[in-house]
Amino acid sequence: MSAVKVKPLGDRVLIKHADEDEQVRDGIIIPDSAKEKPQEAEVIALGTGAKDSDGKAVPFNVKVGDRVLTSKYGGSEVKIDGETYLLVREDDILGIIES
């Protein structure tokens, strides 16, 4: 994957949802508008970081390249160079998928 030239701000994380195979149920293709949003994603870029009440940087729990699970309805969808990404707060990441 080519490097994305976007640096999220604060505790935001840029993620890209894993491509899901076309959903088919009983031979019927489910249209995009009716498909469930995938919850598995890859971390593409990390923000500048959150600060605690003393102004000290709080380290991220995820790193670029991690496969993560996200909440279904969190974040803001953005298009960059024709690709669709999601900007989420680190709190919207539910867990890291370990291989």
Q: How confident is the model at residue 95 (pLDDT cuts 50, 70, 90)?
A: very high
> In the predicted model, what is the mean pLDDT of residues 1-6?
70
CATH code for the structural domain at 12-97:
2.30.33.40
Beta bridge partners of 73: none
Write out pLDDT tens, residues 12-52: 999 998 765 544 556 666 565 545 556 899 999 999 998 88
Torsion region of 94: left, alpha or beta (phi above 0 gives left; psi -120 to 50 gives alpha): alpha
Write out pLDDT tens, residues 51-82: 889 989 899 999 999 999 998 888 899 998 88
- For 85, other C-beta atoms within 10 Å of its C-beta total 22
pLDDT at 10: 92
Q: Where are the domains of the chain?
A: 12-97
Cα radius of gyration (the chain): 15
Report DSSP state, residue 12: E
Global confidence as pTM: 0.77
